[in-house]
């Protein structure tokens, strides 16, 4: 036959796992590039990348990608983001109009959570922390900027009650979906989700220089883990 079909069974499982995650990230970057090219909305571009790439943690969890892969990717991404503050490598992502290490902290949080919870064989908590950071913080910023009319200041940084409410609601939804899905439907699970959402919102509010991209995912994941161990043990 002149035409042969590629035998995917000949590819090691690890490479298929890595390819799945890489394809997702490249797809998100492509979407962001198209939006940046035609819409010229820097903040929208940043949030597409912020929210979209964060979902790769679900691929890592569901496909059981080894921790070493996630940690290596985090180290490489952290190095690239540090260089991007000096060189125009990621201009559309880092152009926030203020001094911020948010993109760097974003990458670091991935590595820490994967190293921590993959080791404990509890990857759902890593996913919880990352998704609260990506979806909660990302949507809170968009809603706050577009519809935030009721302002307040923390450490000189202006926030909005609309954005903070969005952060709490999304954090509660993320926590509830993951914890109920992995631990079962019980009142303790719903209470843990509520506490996690409240603390995540507070961590996001009391942030500066983009450090919420580190404190929110780590704090949320750690709190969900320890409270779950306490009330469900």
- Among candidate residues 57, 102, 112, the one with its CA nearest the CA of residue 82: 102
pLDDT for residue 38: 81
| Beta strands in the chain, from DSSP E residues, in sequence order | 151-154, 157-160
- Report phi then psi at 151, rounded to 5: -95, 155
87 exposed, middle or buried (CB, 10 Å; 0-12, 13-18, 19+)? Answer: exposed
Q: Give percent of the chain above pLDDT 90.
A: 51
Whole-angstrom Cα distance, residue 231 to residue 233? 6
Contacts for 158 with CB less than 8 Å, ≥ 6 apart? 151, 152
Q: In the chain, how many H helices and how many E strands?
A: 11, 2
For 135, the token pair is: 């979806």
Who wins on pLDDT, 150 or 184? 184
Mean per-residue pLDDT of the chain: 86
Q: What are the Cα distances from residue 199, in Å, to 112, 165, 168, 184, 222?
A: 19, 12, 9, 22, 11
- Among candidate residues 5, 94, 12, the one with its CA nearest the CA of residue 50: 94
pLDDT for residue 97: 45
pLDDT digits (tens, 9 = 90+) for 16-60: 888 888 899 999 989 888 887 887 777 788 888 889 999 999 999
Q: How many residues does the chain have?
A: 233
Q: What are the Cα distances from residue 71, in Å, to 54, 74, 105, 114?
A: 14, 5, 14, 7
Whole-angstrom Cα distance, residue 233 to residue 222? 16
pLDDT digits (tens, 9 = 90+) for 180-189: 999 999 999 9
**Region of poorest pLDDT, from 3-7, 83-87, 123-127, 208-212:** 3-7
Who wins on pLDDT, 190 or 89? 190
**pLDDT score of 92 more than 60:** no
Q: Give percent of the chain above pLDDT 70.
A: 88
Whole-angstrom Cα distance, residue 210 to residue 98? 10
């Amino acid at each position: 036959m002149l035409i042969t079909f590629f035998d995917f069974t000949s590819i090691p499982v690890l490479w298929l796992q890595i390819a799945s995650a890489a394809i997702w990230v490249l797809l998100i970057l492509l979407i962001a590039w198209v939006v940046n090219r035609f819409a010229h909305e820097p903040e929208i571009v940043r949030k597409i990348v912020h929210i979209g790439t964060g979902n790769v943690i679900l691929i890592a969890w569901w496909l059981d990608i080894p921790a070493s892969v996630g940690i290596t990717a985090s180290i490489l991404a952290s190095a690239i983001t540090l260089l991007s503050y000096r060189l125009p490598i990621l201009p559309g992502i880092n152009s926030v109009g203020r001094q911020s290490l948010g993109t760097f902290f974003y990458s670091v949080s991935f590595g820490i959570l994967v190293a921590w919870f993959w080791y404990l064989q509890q990857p759902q908590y890593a996913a919880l922390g990352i998704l609260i950071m990506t979806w909660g913080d990302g949507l809170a910023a968009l809603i706050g900027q577009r519809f935030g009319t009721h302002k307040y200041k923390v450490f000189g940084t202006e926030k909005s009650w609309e954005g903070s409410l969005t952060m709490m609601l999304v954090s509660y939804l993320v926590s509830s979906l993951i914890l109920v899905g992995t631990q079962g439907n019980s009142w303790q699970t719903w209470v843990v989700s509520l506490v996690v959402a409240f603390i995540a919102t507070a961590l996001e509010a009391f942030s500066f220089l983009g450090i919420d991209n580190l404190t929110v995912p780590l704090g949320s994941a750690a709190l969900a883990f320890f409270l779950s161990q306490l009330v469900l043990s």
